[in-house]
């Protein structure tokens, strides 16, 4: 049972780790990194998977802890070096995992009751988790190998949950010497604990738990599950122009500057600057694109945008689409007032300086007078209330 749940948990953690790294590097790329801009919903998929797999970790981790619980508090706790490694990696793994998924869940609710920066800690802990998981698997490797070598078990009575996990798997195997032998005998010495529930009942409970927490939140990303989205913090279609708003114009303190009659979007390339009023932007050729807003916090929403192709605007201003860009918002403070965009997004014909959303003039809350919208990018980089676009010299 510990193995079955451990595998599922391992899979969920690997999904979270991979999609998490992708999200991290999109936001903080290394200089040589180039990202795919298509499919347009790629980030919606990876980040939706990240949140869903993370949420599934709650019942899985609790189930795993429940199954191995008696062994966690065995006495004496450590009798050998291998045993020490095993204990230490588990302590680290369990502690770090619980903190990781808890702050991750709180983040989806935009609630930060902890005194440290979320993103850096979530990122750093993921390496602690994967590292301790590798040590854990490494230490258990002899046991895992012995299990596979032992061949298929003869079907017998349903095995109770909470019975000695290892003892049965190594029964009848010849004793080996060295670290492996010490480890096996260490694990074999685990006392058998009485059955607390049947295997089938337990697995059903875990499956129901996973289905419930995933089913009741995944709708914030995966549209077909929208109706069942009871606990996801955002609902599809709720918000101005049918799209949720992440940070409001009031929070960003841009209500006045965004509505100002003399607003212009300045495009700076090399030593030249060109400013476009909203009317001038609207007079340039307009393009329609269906692109999602896909927030790192897990919600996403498809929307129809209309505006000027970014590459046309850069052309118009005399720039090259081989340059990376810096996008600057009217917002004076806040982490997302300034973002950078790789030239792969500049060249993509779906990347727009959007002036309209779902058939109407862009709402102030969605970034009026103009906002960036590009395929395959995290919501945080879809800068609202644009003020200035600068080419970054290579």
| Sheet with strand 386-392: strands edge to edge | 272-276, 265-269, 386-392, 324-329, 338-341
CB of 293 to Mo ion, least distance (A): 8
Q: Which is nearer to Mo ion, 142 or 379 (CB)?
A: 379
Identify what 382 binds: Mo ion, ligand MTE, none; CB under 5 to 8 Å per kind. ligand MTE
Q: Would you call 118 exposed, middle or buried from its count of C-beta atoms within 10 A (0-12, 13-18, 19+)? A: middle
Smallest separation (angstroms) from ligand MTE to the CB of 293: 5
Q: Phi and psi of 353, rounded to 5°? A: -90, 100
Contact track, ligand MTE, 360-389, x by CB under 6 A = ------xx-----------xx-xxxx----
CA 69 and chain centroid, separation: 29
Q: Rank residues 204 and 248 by Cβ distance to ligand MTE and give the closer one.
A: 248
For ligand MTE, the closer of residues 90 and 303 by Cβ is: 303
Among the listed residues 86, 324, 331, 348, the single contact to ligand MTE using CB under 6 A: 331
| 244 vs 319, beta carbon nearer Mo ion | 244
8 versus 295: smaller Cβ distance to ligand MTE:
295
Q: Are 318 and 269 in contact (CB under 8 A)?
A: yes
| Binds ligand MTE (CB under 6 A): choice among 56, 94, 295, 314 | 295
Cβ 296 vs Cβ 380: under 8 Å: yes
Binding site for Mo ion (CB under 5 A): 246, 295, 379-380
- Token code pair at residue 5: 């749940």
In angstroms, what is the minimal distance from the CB of 85 to ligand MTE?
A: 41
**Using CB distances below 5 to 8 A depending on partner kind, what does residue 366 bind out of Mo ion, ligand MTE, none?**
ligand MTE
Indicate the residue among 162 and 367 with the shorter CB distance to ligand MTE. Answer: 367
CB of 211 to ligand MTE, least distance (A): 27
Work out how close the CB of 246 gets to Mo ion at its nearest, in angstroms, rounded to a whole number. Answer: 5
356 belongs to the binding site for ligand MTE (CB under 6 A): no
Answer with the entry of ligand MTE, Mo ion, none that 12 interacts with (C-beta below 5 to 8 A by kind).
none
| Nearer CB in complex with ligand MTE: 313/386 | 386
User: Taking CB within 5 to 8 Å according to partner kind, which of ligand MTE, Mo ion, none is near residue 336?
Assistant: ligand MTE
Measured over the CA atoms of residue 282, residue 284, residue 288 and residue 293, the dihedral's sign is negative
Please give the span between the terminal C-alpha atoms of the chain, in angstroms, as a whole number.
55
Question: Nearer to Mo ion by C-beta: 110 or 211?
Answer: 110
The token pair that represents 342 in the structure block: 């790789």
Distance CA 179, CA 128 (A): 25
Binding-residue pattern over the window 222 to 261 for ligand MTE, x denoting contact by CB under 6 A:
---------------------xxxxx----x---------
Q: Is residue 373 a contact partner of residue 292, using CB atoms and an 8 Å limit?
A: no
Residue 294 C-beta: closest distance to ligand MTE, Å? 8
Nearer to ligand MTE, 119 or 347 (CB): 119
Which entry of Mo ion, ligand MTE, none binds 383, CB below 5 to 8 A by partner kind?
A: ligand MTE
Residue nearest to ligand MTE (CB): 379
Minimum CB distance to Mo ion, residue 14 (Å): 24
Which does residue 252 touch among ligand MTE, Mo ion, none (CB within 5 to 8 A, set by kind)? ligand MTE
Nearer to ligand MTE, 213 or 254 (CB): 254
Q: Which residues bind ligand MTE (CB under 6 A)?
A: 243-247, 252, 293, 295, 329, 331, 334, 336-337, 366-367, 379-380, 382-385
């Amino acid at each position: 049972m510990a193995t079955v749940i451990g595998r599922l948990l391992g899979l969920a953690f690997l999904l979270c780790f991979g999609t998490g790294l992708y999200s991290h590097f999109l936001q903080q790329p290394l200089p040589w990194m180039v990202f795919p801009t298509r499919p347009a919903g790629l980030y919606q998929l990876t980040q939706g998977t990240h949140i869903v797999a993370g949420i599934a970790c709650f019942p899985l981790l609790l189930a795993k802890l429940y199954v191995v619980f008696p062994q966690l508090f065995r006495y004496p706790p450590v009798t050998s070096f291998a045993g020490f490694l095993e204990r230490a990696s588990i302590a680290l793994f369990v502690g770090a995992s619980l903190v990781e998924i808890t702050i991750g869940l709180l983040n989806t609710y935009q609630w930060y009751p902890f005194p440290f920066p979320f993103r850096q800690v979530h990122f750093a802990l993921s390496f602690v988790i994967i590292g301790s998981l590798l040590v854990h698997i490494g230490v258990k490797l002899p046991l895992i190998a012995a299990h596979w070598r032992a061949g298929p078990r003869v079907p017998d009575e349903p095995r109770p949950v909470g019975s000695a996990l290892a003892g049965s798997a190594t029964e009848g195997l010849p004793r080996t010497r060295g670290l492996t032998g010490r480890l096996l005998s260490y694990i074999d010495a685990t006392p058998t604990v009485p059955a607390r529930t049947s295997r089938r009942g337990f697995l059903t409970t875990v499956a129901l738990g996973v289905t419930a927490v995933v089913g009741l939140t995944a709708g914030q990303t995966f549209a077909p599950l929208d109706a069942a989205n009871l606990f996801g913090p955002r609902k599809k279609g709720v918000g101005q122009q049918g799209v949720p708003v992440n940070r409001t114009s009031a929070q960003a303190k841009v209500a006045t500057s965004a509505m100002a009659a003399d607003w212009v979007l300045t495009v700076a390339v090399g030593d030249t600057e060109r400013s476009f009023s909203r009317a001038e932007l609207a007079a340039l050729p307009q393009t329609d694109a269906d692109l999602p807003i896909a927030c790192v916090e897990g919600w996403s929403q498809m929307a129809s945008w209309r505006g000027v192709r970014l590459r046309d605007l850069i052309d118009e201003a005399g720039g090259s689409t081989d340059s990376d860009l810096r996008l600057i918002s009217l917002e004076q403070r806040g982490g997302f007032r300034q973002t950078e965009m790789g030239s792969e997004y500049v060249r993509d014909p779906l990347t727009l300086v959007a002036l309209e959303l779902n058939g109407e003039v862009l709402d102030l809350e969605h970034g009026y007078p103009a906002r960036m919208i590009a395929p395959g990018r995290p919501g945080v980089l879809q800068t609202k209330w644009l003020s200035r676009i600068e080419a970054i010299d290579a």
